[in-house]
Structure formats: structure tokens, C-alpha cells
Amino acid sequence: MAAPEERDSPTEASQPVMEEEETKTFKDLGVTDVLCEACDQLGWTKPTKIQIEAIPLALQGRDIIGLAETGSGKTGAFALPILNALLETPQRLFALVLTPTRELAFQISEQFEALGSSIGVQSAVIVGGIDSMSQSLALAKKPHIIIATPGRLTDHLENTKGFNLRALKYLVMDEADRILNMDFETEVDKILKVIPRDRKTFLFSATMTKKVQKLQRAALKNPVKCAVSSKYQTVEKLQQYYIFIPSKFKDTYLVYILNELAGNSFMIFCSTCNNTQRTALLLRNLGFTAIPLHGQMSQSKRLGSLNKFKAKARSILLATDVASRGLDIPHVDVVVNFDIPTHSKDYIHRVGRTARAGRSGKAITFVTQYDVELFQRIEHLIGKKLPVFPTQDDEVMMLTERVAEAQRFARMELREHGEKKKRSREDAGDNDDTEGAIGVRNKVAGGKMKKQKGR
């Protein structure tokens, strides 16, 4: 990062924080009537804790550091003040929101569009994996809000003629710790150099890392810190369990749990793209409606997977940590940590996909003989001992034969997919059929799939 300028250290919220009981509505926080109506239409009946703390300060024109657990309504905490300010002084290229992942960018864009639909707000999503040319055209129309991943935005700032952010009034860095962990430091640096110093900056992060503190010094003027929860914690209505199993029976136990809790929607987290794909194939061979979501899939496939799961057309989403942060899928009933996360903090984000907005949910973590230390770290972080999820071992063992056969088919399909990749590097991204059963279905369909446009 560039040498940070000397800034004042953040003050804690300078006024006494209003109790949630006192503040019943967004209107009490100072949000304008037309946006209060938009909140009603979205079903946001009362502001969340982070919104109660951050919105009044943001409306006063302060820079803000928001520390809040996942699923706490952070998007509303920065979107409402920005739209409020936009109504007072309408201007194109008014605000920039930086996010770590493409999916999160689309989700934030949806919220801006929903909140700003009655006042004609236009936003553009600028992320990788999508045709640059169409993005350049969208930027030429000068939208009010740009939601972007740092890499692709830097690309446009350097290469798209006539595009600059010299008039920008607001900068938001959402999931700032993740942006920096994904090594976007150079890009963030470049962006900070070309946007006006005279702007409002909101930095939202679930954790306050050293990198985030460094960024705060470089980018914020006399910020106010709004911390909803300083210690790492998970939502009260979340039931958390673990299962201690031999590594070789992981697949069998997964199938057992999916059968036991049938009728629920599941998010299953795996540690690698390959394991995500393999497990999706395995489950599809056993008749489950499972779809993968990982970084080696093309952007259109990733969004396709997400939308099918959101629309409840599929009940099982298998994902790498690409989906552990910020994605708001209201109806996730059960989160399964199929592979235990290597960073304990990622556990908080993964299980935060369920029990959102006051609903209840379950989280089950698989612990093999190799994961004991990692699991103990997680228990230490959240400050509680987790109970064992009850299983009938004899019933689990009855599934081993069927699961072994499905494993064999999954391996064959993966191998076939790998050979196809070698044979044709160009088609590599397009064979990652989100439905999972790659090789077999391609054969049935009669050869290679058609190349997609706009990749």
C-alpha cells in the first residue's frame, strides 16, 4: 500500500448510541420519506443495530468504519445514506462500492436498484468474467452508482477512454478485510490515487485486521467507529453441531445427513474447486438436486447456479469459500462444513449463511482425525463447546455400497472432464456444467457444448 497519510485515529461513536427500543423506524434515523417507503416495500420494518449506529452519523457527513457480523444489514447501512445524499445533490458517477467477489457485487447492485427504483437510480456492476465492451458502454452512460471488484475497475480506469472518477463523492469498501486478503492491495492503491480526496468514505469489515487498519489510515478522515459486535460470535438462533468421523466415510455421512434432514435447503462448503465439483457429481449420481459454485466456473455459470438455488429450483448448493461472505440467500436451512475451514474466522462467515434476519438454522461441521486442532481453534474463537450431531452409525454403514458406486461414477466423470480440458484449452471454462454431471451428459447431448458468447 502507498504510504498512508497521517489521519486522526477513529473516534468511537461520539454521541450516545440510541437503544433499539427507542428507534422504531428509518425515519427516526433521518432517512427521507421516499426511501422510508422503499424500505417498507422491501420488508425492512425496523433498522438493524449497525444501521441504527451508522446511518445518522453518515447523514451528518462523517467517515465511518463499520464492524459488524455477517448478515447484520451492512448494505442498508451504506446504501441509504448514499441515496439520501444523491437525492439532495443529484449527480452522475456519485458513488463507488468496492467488493471482493462478483456475486456480492450483483447482490449489492440489486439492493441499490430496489431501494432507488422510485427515484430512478441507475447502477452498473463492473466485475471480471463478463465482457469488457458491454461494461465500457454501461460506464459511458455514467450511472449514479458503480459496484465493482478492484481488479476489473482498475482495468477500466486504465483502458476505457473517457472514464474517470474525478467527480466521485462516496467510496464504500465492503468486506474490506476480504478485499485485502485476496491481494487486491495494489488495485485499491491505484483507485485511491485517482479518486478525489474530498469525498466521504465508508469502510465495512467483519474483522479488524492489520491490513484494514493500514487502509483506514490511508483512506479515511477522522472516522467514527461503529462496532456492533467486537468479539467473534454467531447468531443466537443458530444451532451448531459437529460430527467426528473417519476421513474415508465423509461422503457416506454427508449422504446420511441429507437423507435425515430431507426437505431442507443445504449449503455445503468444500475446501477446493475440485472437491466441490466431485461432491456435486457424487450427489447427483445418487439423485440429489445438487449444484456447484466455485471459482473455476465461468461467471454466467456461477450466477446461474446461485439463481437456481435462490429460486429453490435446487435444494443443495456446494460451494468453496467464494460463497461464504455476504451472500444473502434467505432460505438456507442447513450449512454443512464438509471440509473444515483452515481459518477459524471463515467458520463464522460460512455458518452466517443460515439463521439470517432472525430466522433459525443449523450448522454441522465434519471433523475427521486430521481436523481436531482446527476444530478446537473454532470452538475457542466462538467461545463455546459444540454438541455432537446425533447419528445412527449402523444406518450410515448401510449406505456405503451405494455411495462407493456413486464415487466411482463421479471419478470417471471428473477424469473425462480433465481429458477434455487437456484436449481443448479453449473450452475449459464452458464444460463446467452447473448441473454437475458433465461427461455423461455431454455424450448424451452429442459431443461438445456450444461455445458461449461474451466470455
Long-range contacts made by residues 284-288, C-beta under 8 angstroms, separation at least 24?
284/435, 284/436, 284/437, 285/405, 285/406, 285/409, 285/410, 285/437, 286/255, 286/402, 286/403, 286/406, 288/258, 288/315, 288/316
At 419, which helix (H) or strand (E)? helix 400-423
pTM: 0.63
CA distance 414 to 436: 10
Report how far apart, in Å, the C-alpha atoms of 58 and of each of 61, 78, 109, 342, 445 are.
5, 8, 20, 36, 55
Q: Which helix (H) or strand (E) holds 240?
A: strand 238-244
C-alpha cell of residue 269? 462448503
Q: Which contiguous run of DSSP H or E holds residue 66?
A: strand 64-67
User: Rounded mean pLDDT of the chain?
Assistant: 82
How far, in Å, CA of 30 to CA of 87, rounded? 13
Estimate to the nearest angstrom the gap between the alpha carbon of 122 and the chain centroid: 22
First to last CA, the chain: 32
In the structure, what pLDDT confidence band is assigned to residue 318 with cuts at 50, 70 and 90? very high
| Mean local confidence (pLDDT), 169-196 | 88
Beta carbons of 283 and 429 less than 8 angstroms apart = no
Helix ranges restricted to H, 168-298: 176-181, 185-194, 210-219, 250-260, 273-285
Instruction: Name the residue with higher pLDDT: 439 or 193.
Output: 193
- Which of the four pLDDT bands, split at 50, 70 and 90, describes residue 434? very low
Report how far residue 231's alpha carbon sits from residue 229's, in angstroms, rounded to the nearest whole number.
Answer: 6
Looking at per-residue confidence, does 236 or 161 come out higher? 161
Do 55 and 33 form a contact (C-beta atoms < 8 A)?
A: no
Which of 227, 206, 239 lies closest to 355 in space, CA to CA? 239
pLDDT at site 62: 92
Cβ within 8 Å of residue 18, ≥6 positions away: 52
pLDDT: is 158 or 12 the higher one? Answer: 158
The phi-psi region of residue 30 (left if phi > 0; otherwise alpha if psi is between -120 and 50; otherwise beta) is left
Cα separation, 179 vs 204, in Å, equals 11
Q: Which domains does the chain have, with CATH numbers?
A: 11-227 (3.40.50.300), 238-443 (3.40.50.300)
pLDDT in tens, 404-421: 999 999 999 888 877 776
Q: Which residue has the higher pLDDT, 424 or 302?
A: 302
Of 222 and 97, more confident: 97
d(CA 58, CA 80) in angstroms, rounded, equals 9
In tens, the pLDDT along 104-144 reads 899 899 999 999 988 889 999 999 888 889 999 999 999 99
What distance in Å separates the CA atoms of residue 146 and residue 169, rounded to the nearest whole number? 12
Best CA proximity match to 123, nearest among 143, 103, 150, 93: 143
| Spatial separation of the C-alpha atoms in residues 315 and 309, rounded to whole Å | 6
Q: Please tell me the distance from the alpha carbon of residue 242 to that of residue 77, in angstroms, as a whole number.
A: 34
Q: Considering all CA atoms of the chain, what is the largest pairwise distance in Å, rounded to the nearest integer?
A: 68
Mean pLDDT of 191-216: 85
Judge contact between 214 and 3, C-beta under 8 A. Answer: no
List the one residue out of 259, 267, 283, 236 whose CA is nearest residue 329: 267
Dist CA 338 CA 243 (whole Å): 10
pLDDT band at 91 (very low <50, low <70, confident <90, very high): very high
The percentage of residues in the chain with a pLDDT greater than 70, rounded to a whole number, is 82
* Cα R_g (the chain), whole angstroms: 23
Amino acid in the structure at residue 336: V
- In tens, the pLDDT along 27-48 reads 999 999 999 999 988 888 888 8
Backbone φ, ψ for residue 105 (5° rounding) = -60, -45
- Check residue 447 and give its pLDDT: 38
